[in-house]
Structure 1
Amino acid sequence: MNIPGPEPRSDGGAGAVAAAGGLHTYQLQLHAAYGPVVRFQLPGAGTAVSIADPVLLEATAHLDERPARLFAFLEPLCEAGNLQVIPAEEHAPWRQLLLSVLAGRPSHERHFAQFTALATALADRWAERAGRAPVALQKDLAALSLRMICGYALGGDVADPDAVIAAFEEVLTSRLEQPQGVPASDAQEGRAERAARAARAEAALARLRATVDEVIGAHHSGGRTDRSDLIGALVEAGERPARIRDTVMVTMLAAHHTTGVAVSWTLYLLGRHPEVAEKVAEELDRVLGERAVPDYADLRRLRYLEMTLKEAMRLYPPGPYGARETSEPLHLGDYEIPAGTTVFYPFWAVHMNPDYWPEPEKFLPERFTPEEVAKRPRLAHIPFGLGPRSCEGAALAMVEAELTLAVLLKRFRFRPVPGHEVTPVERFVLWAADDIRMDVSVRG
């Protein structure tokens, strides 16, 4: 391929990733050293090609296959085939079905009052703690997102969302953080730890499946087949029960992580930039007046709030990277990439590319005025991915996130807890190592 990149390592690149502090940080370093197209060892996938230039990304936007090995950790959640890597011919109609629900304005409007009630309930709980104890943004907002997705796409709620979140974390941790090797003297302890972890993961997976079955059962007992409800649409489309359960599981996983994480990073940035937070508050007061919550139509008028959310997702993309696989040779600028190559999408490196984002480390919502957006390539901002495998729930996530931010920022000011260090870490999404703890005060 003659693509620049570091020399191969005997450990498959795992040591380089660890030394950089994570794959997303490693990508920033690679592209700073070698340019917009880099060949590197991707642990678990051999050699990959990473692309951080949005113009060059256009040549890959048609790719509709994912490298199976990189998504194998999701297999325990699926019984009818890993939904992240199903073949393109099967994926296309399934995706269209999801988009007909998740991207549809009628379904957003139908559930908007429920979303508002859930966000308001969280705000009420935070109001009781205001001025007395910090809030853990990611924990609380992940739980809120899970409640929202259950109410919206699944036709029901869960009794204990914290337990469901913990179960998801247990399953994912067991798959994402497998021990890479145990010293001989600790071999017995290593085997015991792995066995215990596997047992916990199996128990957690059983709890998740039981919860999903309860949600599906509640939906069927209600007799609904509304196509603005995900399960109803899947049933009406004739999907088999195992595929319905798989879709529910993956939807719960994706939605409860990404939306809550995006809102939490936005509040974190606003807490560090009170001048931006004041602009958001002024817009909310102007659009909503004395009302504590927006209507669905109000979201279109909250332009600066939307710009702020997009800029936060540029700096802290909830999912920091993606991947595709070429099924035939691909011409990419001066390079030809062979068939069967893993193409890596380093969202964070794309979002920090100084050729398209001057002073990329700065938090500047004004980057997303229509005039500024028109100056950039369309793939310069890709928090939800790109092409036919991009996030089907992107439109829903934006509605949930903007509503939640509007409810919270109309009532509160947020400030970082003194001495609390916020460190981004890679898990399934871009998490914070010890959550994001903020002091909350009620706006006067």
Structure 2
Amino acid sequence: MDIPGPEPRADGGAGAVAAAGGLHVYQLRLHAEYGPVVRFQLPGADTAVSVADPVLLEATAHVDKRPEPLFAFLAPLFEAGNVQVMPADEHTPWRRLLLSVLAGRPSHERHFARFTELVTELADRWAERAGQGPVELQKDLTALSLRMICAYALGGEAEDPDRVVDAFEEVLTEHLGRLYQAPLPGSREERAERAAEALAYLRAVVDRVVAAHRSGDRADRIIEAGERPARIRDTVMVAMLAAHHTTGLAVSWTLHLLGRHPEAAGRVAEELDRVLGDRAAPEYADLRRLTYLERVLKEAMRLYPPGPYGARETTEALVLGDYEIPAGTTVFYPFWAVHMNPDHWPEPERFMPERFTPEETAKRPRLAYIPFGLGPRGCEGAALAMVEAELVLAVLLKRLRFRPVPGHEVTPVERFVLWAADDIRMTVSPRT
């Protein structure tokens, strides 16, 4: 059976993506019109097959090859080869090492006190701002996330986190713009020069952070593996990129949703008071008792998945329901469309943290919720990101109340990740 999809375009699909406002929204529209499996054109892949059905995704979960052209926009960040598309035989041991560094509970506990200090510093600053105008969630929380991953992975501080975040955006916006032929301000030469300057700055920052690492800290695990300096730099670079986006934006969207749903915010506050008592911050062991807070965070990441998308290249023919996918096909994972699939998420646009009770979770297919991707190329830092996000939310919501700024429009846009176009501005006030 032929896979449904739009008619081919001479521009390779770039115009359709741009007209929709980005790849995330385009995927939602494609699946709403053509169903759970769609054939479409994608710049860098010619023709791709997008799968928004979590049951059908299971047939692709073992695939360990990424289509190189789709991830070429990340290549400028890497000197030792694009770690996002390294062959499976090279990727598997490297992934194992990264999981040992990023996913271990003992290391999370060991760094928890430092994480708490960093979050508390931000809470203090925001508390001082109470009554003096709104805070910009994305700006401050992505910078906080960058500080946290540097403290965790390298035992050091990121210098000028705001500038580092801006530099990442400069590089990615330029190279994504080339891939999707998106209109950007300034001439191509000016943009290329700005991107080159931003990349040189990022490399210099990473070199200084790596050089300053403490003996015995997490960087040594990578160094002891015998990797060359360029690969170490690449790994730190991608960790900084992924961590500040994922955690900072997940917390930002969660606070935005709680501001629009005061009843849920009240339940979070009650749970924090019950579990923490008079303490301003949780201990690591407290996180498992903050069950409603975890459900709120997961529902926020369902509605606004911080990760952009996933993609694999089939190495053998696959059968997806009624369709046969030949070897060499780009299989696209549209995280947002999967999370908005009404067959598994009734009233998908509603904010309903109760979807993540154990009883409700057990009713859904395993891959109905994939904010960190799936399979052997899923995010190695998923467990760390959840610990960080829950801690940040617990500290902020124990002390502060967040309310939307009247008249401020929060519009999701694609900037590699799902970003708010004009930040998420909220007023803060002390809870007591």
TM normalised by structure 2 equals 0.98
Tell me, yes or no, if structure 1 residue 225 matches structure 2 residue 216: yes
- Structure 1 residue runs of 5 or longer lacking an equivalent are 184-188
Q: 1:98 maps to what in 2?
A: 98
State how far apart, in whole Å, the 2-side matches of 1:38 and 1:181 are: 22
Quick check: 1:267 aligned with 2:255?
yes
| Letter aligned with residue 238 of structure 1 | G
| Equivalent pair of 1:150/1:156 in contact (CA under 8 Å) | yes
**Aligned partners of 2:299 and 2:351 also within 8 Å:** yes
SS at match of 2:212: helix
Quick one: distance in 2 between partners of 1:318 and 1:31? 20
CA distance in 1, matches of 2:392, 2:291: 15
The alpha-carbon deviation at position 21 of structure 1 amounts to: 2.0
Map 1:135-146; keep pairs closer than 5 Å: 135-146=135-146
| Equivalent residues, number | 432
Contact 1:225 1:236 in 2 (8 A): no
2: CA distance, partners of 1:401 / 1:38: 34
Whole-angstrom CA distance in 2 between matches of 1:416 and 1:85: 41
What do the CA deviations read for 1:184-241 (whole angstroms, capped 9, x no partner)? xxxxx99x7111111111111111111111111111xx3x134xx1x11111111111
In the aligned structure 1, how far is the partner of 2:382 from the partner of 2:179? 34
Closer, same or farther: CA 407–180 of 1 in aligned 2, 3 Å: closer
> Aligned AA for 1:292?
A
Distance 2:280 2:179 in 1: 49
Equivalent positions of 1:18-417 (< 5 A) are 18-178=18-178, 193-219=187-213, 222=214, 224-226=215-217, 229=218, 231-417=219-405
Q: How much does 1:159 deviate?
A: 2.4
- Deviation of 1:155 after TM superposition, in Å, equals 2.1
CA spacing shift, 1:196–1:132, aligned 2, 3 Å: same
More divergent stretch after superposition (166-175 vs 310-319): 166-175
Report which stretch shifted further, 333-342 or 169-178.
Answer: 169-178
Q: Partners of 1:181 and 1:160 in 2: how far apart?
A: 31
2: CA distance between counterparts of 1:6 and 1:178? 23
Q: Distance in 1 between matches of 2:165 and 2:363?
A: 40
1:6 equivalenced with 2:21 (yes/no): no
Residue by residue over 1:91-136, the C-alpha shift from the partner in whole angstroms, topping out at 9 and shown as x without a partner, is 0000000000100011101110000000000000000111221000
Q: What is the one-letter code of the residue matched to 1:225?
A: G
Equivalent AA in structure 1 for residue 367 of structure 2: L
Check conservation: 1:225, 1:235, Cα contact below 8 A: no
The amino acid that maps onto 1:213 is D
Checking the alignment, whether the CA contact within 8 Å between 1:330 and 1:337 is kept in structure 2 is yes
Report the Cα distance in structure 2 between the residues aligned to 1:425 and 1:69, rounded to whole angstroms: 23
- Code of the aligned partner of 1:333: G
| Deviation of 1:408 (Å) | 0.3
| CA distance in structure 1 between the aligned counterparts of 2:179 and 2:269, rounded to whole angstroms | 47
Summarize the Cα distance change of 1:25–1:80 in structure 2 as closer, same or farther, 3 Å threshold. Answer: same
Query: How far has the Cα of 1:180 moved from its partner?
Result: 7.0
SS at match of 2:379: coil
- Among candidates 414, 419, 423, match of residue 431 of structure 1: 419
1:319-360 CA deviation, whole Å, 9 max, x = no partner?
132111101111111111011110000111110011100111
The Cα of 1:44 is off from its aligned counterpart by: 2.1
The aligned counterpart of 1:186 is none
Q: For residues 320 and 126 of structure 1, what CA distance do their matches in structure 2 show?
A: 29
Identity, in percent, stands at 79
Determine the C-alpha separation between the residues in 2 that align with 1:182 and 1:277.
38
Distance 1:14 1:211 in 2: 34
Offset of residue 19 of structure 1: 2.1
CA apart distance, 1:176: 1.3
> How far apart in 2 are the matches of 1:75 and 1:321?
17
3-state DSSP of counterpart to 2:187: helix
Superposition deviation, residue 16 in structure 1? 1.6
Matched residue of 2:65: which SS?
A: coil
Gaps of 5+ in 2: none
| Distance in 2 between residues matched to 1:138 and 1:195, nearest whole Å | 29
